[in-house]
Amino acid sequence: MNRLVEPWKYPFILLFGIGISNVGGWIYLIALNLIVLDMTGSPLAVAALYIIKPLAAVVTNSWSGSLIDRVNKRNLMVYLDMSRAIVIAILPSLSSLWTIYVLVLFINMGSAMFEPTSMTYITKLIPAKHRKRFNSLRSLVDSGGFLIGPAIAGIMFIIGSPNFAIYMNAIALFLSGVVTLFMPDLEKNHVADSNQEKFSFAVLKKDWSVVKEFSQRNVYIMVIYFLFSCVMVMTAAIDSLEAAFSKEVLSLSDGKYGFLVSIAGAGIVVGAIVNACFVKKLATSMLIGGGSLLLSAGYIVYAFSHDFFGAAFGFFILSFALAFANTGFYTFYQNNIPAEMMGRVGSIYGLIEAVLVIISTIIFGAAAQLISIQFIVIVGALIMFLVTMLLFVYLFSSKAKFYSTI
């Protein structure tokens, strides 16, 4: 029994920390939306919160990868969790909308740094043979956060207020940082030697060149990365029109729209459970390709819907597919990007993805205003399908060596 438990001791602690952080993140998002809406009465002011996230990635990712690869990853994760907790705890005391936006920008900058930092740490902690299983369990934890977070937020609004929920999220993030302190310090004897090179513009320039050279040497890997990122960009662009599509095209009430979102949550959970059960029997290439194709198929069903039932079916399919696509992509990424430069690669390509999200969201929003919401959602879904078809074909272009260790 101990032989089975011991290799998973730290991965389970890490999953516990990720779970706490995810649940807190949902509570924070919903509570902050309500606080800003109460302050301004403007849906546009709430929508601005969603632009801040990719904007924070644009501000951060050009330099954060160079920092991440040169510092102790575990300690940086602890610092990012606890500093975000402190800033979040300040939010309820603010009365200026612009001050809230600035602090939300800093919080999202911390989140933009945390993602590639945690990915690098996970890659170093989890042996290659266990990564696919870990990533499937992480998808399960993420899906649990999607359902549990909003439910807990609702309970907190009943017994307290959005401000109370914000404080609870700050505590959750702080606890996540404390949990991370119990993780092994994998770079205790290594990072001190690598810090001799001072962090400067020259170092940033050199690191961008390193990522460029790596991309040129590993075209297949980076094309898969880029195409999958493009799929995620299209999901963000289409999702930005979700509420308007539900109201204006499907003519849903607030209650039915809430039920539609709940169906998506159920799809995520069912997909994550099925994924966790069968992940060992599915090739990583099939997880990425099949998951992405099913995801785009769900969006197509949703885009062509004219009533609640069609949209619900599409929502369930696309949310079901997410766990498979993400598990496959994370595993492929961890096994093919060297851990020592993962921060730089993830941050720079994350910067490109964030810019594309901002551009596509603005274009989709403007086009929906000028033409028709359903037409633009259909166009977006078809573009996503074409990208996933290209990704699927590229995945199976006789490159088995990239999956042989998986």
CB 27 within 8 A of CB 172: yes
Sign of CA dihedral 255, 257, 258, 262: positive
**Which residues, in sequence order, are CB contacts of 299 under 8 Å at separation 6+?**
234, 235, 238, 314, 318, 380, 381, 384, 385
CB 133 within 8 A of CB 122: no
Q: Residues 183-224: pLDDT tens digits? A: 888 777 664 444 456 667 777 888 888 888 988 998 888 999
**Which residues, in sequence order, are CB contacts of 358 under 8 Å at separation 6+?**
51, 54, 55, 58
Compute the distance between CA of residue 85 and CA of residue 131 in angstroms, rounded to an integer.
29
Compute the distance between CA of residue 104 and CA of residue 32 in angstroms, rounded to an integer.
10
Domain extents in the chain: 1-184, 201-406
Quick check: do 1-184 and 201-406 share a fold?
A: yes
pLDDT of residue 194: 47
Q: Cβ–Cβ contacts within 10 Å for residue 369, how many?
A: 11
With a pLDDT cut of 70, the percent of the chain lying above it is 88
E strand segments, 107-172: none
CATH code, 201-406:
1.20.1250.20
CATH code, 1-184:
1.20.1250.20
The structure's pTM equals 0.83
Q: Cβ–Cβ contacts within 10 Å for residue 25, how many?
A: 18
DSSP character at residue 183: S
401-406: average pLDDT: 54
Compute the distance between CA of residue 83 and CA of residue 89 in angstroms, rounded to an integer.
10
The enclosing H or E element of 162 equals: helix 162-181
- Per the listing, tokens 């040497």 go with 217
Compute the distance between CA of residue 88 and CA of residue 157 in angstroms, rounded to an integer.
17
CB 112 within 8 A of CB 62: no
Compute the distance between CA of residue 329 and CA of residue 335 in angstroms, rounded to an integer.
10
pLDDT band at residue 406 under the 50/70/90 scheme: very low
pLDDT of residue 4: 45
**Which residues, in sequence order, are CB contacts of 64 under 8 Å at separation 6+?**
112, 113, 116, 343, 347
Q: Residues 80-95: pLDDT tens digits? A: 999 999 999 998 888 8
Asked if the model's pLDDT at residue 135 lies above 60, the reply is yes
Q: Residues 100-118: pLDDT tens digits? A: 999 999 988 988 888 888 8
| Mean pLDDT of the residues in the chain | 82
Q: What is the largest CA-CA distance in the chain?
A: 63
- CA-to-CA separations, 110 to 152, 287, 326, 354, in angstroms, rounded: 24, 30, 22, 15
Asked if the model's pLDDT at residue 321 lies above 70, the reply is yes
CB 333 within 8 A of CB 209: no
CB 250 within 8 A of CB 294: no
pLDDT of residue 401: 56
List the one residue out of 271, 405, 388 whose CA is nearest residue 331.
405
Give exposure, 237-265, as e/b (b: 16+ Cβ within 10 Å). bbbbbbeebbeebbebeeeebeebbebbb
Asked if the model's pLDDT at residue 128 lies above 60, the reply is yes
- CA-to-CA separations, 129 to 1, 163, 240, 335, 337, in angstroms, rounded: 19, 44, 37, 10, 16
Collapse the DSSP code of 16 into the 3-class scheme (helix H, G, I; strand E, B; otherwise coil) and give the result.
Answer: helix
pLDDT of residue 70: 84
Asked if the model's pLDDT at residue 7 lies above 70, the reply is no
Q: Residues 140-162: pLDDT tens digits? A: 777 666 667 666 766 766 777 78
Lowest mean pLDDT among 122-131, 260-269, 357-366: 260-269
Q: What is the DSSP string of 65-79?
A: HHHHTTS-HHHHHHH
Asked if the model's pLDDT at residue 386 lies above 60, the reply is yes
pLDDT of residue 144: 64
128-142: average pLDDT: 81
